[in-house]
């Protein structure tokens, strides 16, 4: 994403520090910046952690949907067409990864399950600090634990699909 200039940079800290890094963000590594200039660095970290929960929950939702589509006879390709029409962008990209088996055929993960779990733990700790819970994230994290058991270091966030498939009495690999 950075090579393609498609990141979203979350910038925080003293104005002088931010000014030094701005030439390397929008139009270089990122397509846009979220600006917390003058605010604590921790605000950027909170945004990253919370943002990553959206990815985790998106993969969880897609995994459950594709599994139900397969089990109900609707089929993944029909669901994928719906996703293309209604939710373009990352939903489509992850849906393709699930359908093609990319989640279990890769030599190296795109977003390793252990790193995704680390982010999930940080988010759940952050939520606890502020008196709330992220129940959907707890489900995704449990599925990532299953991914790690099945694939160890090769486990990818998209492997949540395999874990959901197993719960539905299907093979991990599609």
Together in a domain, 73 and 108: yes
Residue 2 pLDDT greater than 80, yes or no = no
Q: Do 147 and 162 touch, CB atoms closer than 8 A? A: yes
Give residue 24's domain range.
1-39
pLDDT value for 1: 73
Q: Using 50, 70 and 90 to split pLDDT, how confident is the model at 158?
A: very high
Together in a domain, 74 and 158: yes
Tell me the per-residue pLDDT of 79-123, one tens digit each, with 9 for 90 and over: 999 999 999 889 999 999 999 999 999 999 999 999 999 999 999
| Entry pTM | 0.91
30 falls within a domain: yes
Residue 8 bridge partners (DSSP): 32
53 falls within a domain: yes
Together in a domain, 23 and 84: no
Reduced 3-state DSSP string for 20-55: HHHHHCECCCEEEEEEEECCCHHHHHHHHHHHHHHH
Q: How far is Cα 164 from Cα 92, in angstroms, rounded to an integer?
A: 19
Together in a domain, 47 and 35: no
Residue 133 pLDDT greater than 80, yes or no = yes
21 falls within a domain: yes
Together in a domain, 32 and 49: no
Tell me the per-residue pLDDT of 43-84, one tens digit each, with 9 for 90 and over: 999 999 999 999 999 999 999 999 999 999 999 999 999 999
Together in a domain, 75 and 136: yes
113 falls within a domain: yes
The count of domains in the chain is: 2
CATH label of the domain that carries residue 124: 1.10.1040.10
Together in a domain, 66 and 91: yes
Q: What is the per-residue burial (b if ≥16 Cβ within 10 Å, else e) of 80-118?
A: beebeeeeeeebbebbebbbeebbbebeebebbbeebbe
Q: Using 50, 70 and 90 to split pLDDT, how confident is the model at 3?
A: confident
81 falls within a domain: yes
Other CB atoms within 10 Å distance of the CB of residue 22: 14
173 falls within a domain: no
DSSP 87: S
Task: Please spell the DSSP secondary structure of 100-130, one letter per residue.
Answer: HTHHHH-SS-SSBHHHHHHHHHHHHHHHHHT
Q: How far is Cα 56 from Cα 135, in angstroms, rounded to an integer?
A: 12
Together in a domain, 74 and 49: yes
Mapping DSSP to helix (H, G, I), strand (E, B) and coil, where does residue 7 land?
Answer: strand
Together in a domain, 56 and 108: yes
pLDDT value for 118: 96
């Amino acid at each position: 994403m950075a090579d393609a200039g498609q990141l979203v940079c979350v910038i925080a800290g003293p104005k002088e520090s931010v000014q030094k890094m701005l030439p390397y963000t929008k139009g270089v590594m990122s397509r846009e910046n979220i600006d917390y200039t003058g605010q604590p660095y921790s605000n950027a970290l909170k945004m990253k952690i919370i943002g990553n929960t959206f990815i985790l929950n998106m993969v969880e939702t897609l995994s459950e949907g594709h599994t139900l589509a397969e089990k109900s006879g609707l089929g993944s390709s029909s669901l994928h067409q719906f996703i293309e029409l209604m939710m373009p962008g990352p939903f489509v990209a992850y849906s393709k990864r699930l359908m093609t088996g990319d989640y279990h055929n890769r030599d190296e993960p795109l977003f390793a399950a252990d790193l995704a779990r680390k982010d999930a733990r940080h988010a759940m700790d952050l939520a606890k600090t502020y008196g709330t819970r992220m129940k959907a994230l707890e489900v995704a994290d449990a599925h990532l634990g299953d991914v790690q058991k099945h694939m160890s270091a090769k486990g990818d966030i998209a492997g949540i699909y395999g874990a959901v498939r197993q719960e539905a009495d299907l093979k991990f690999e599609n």
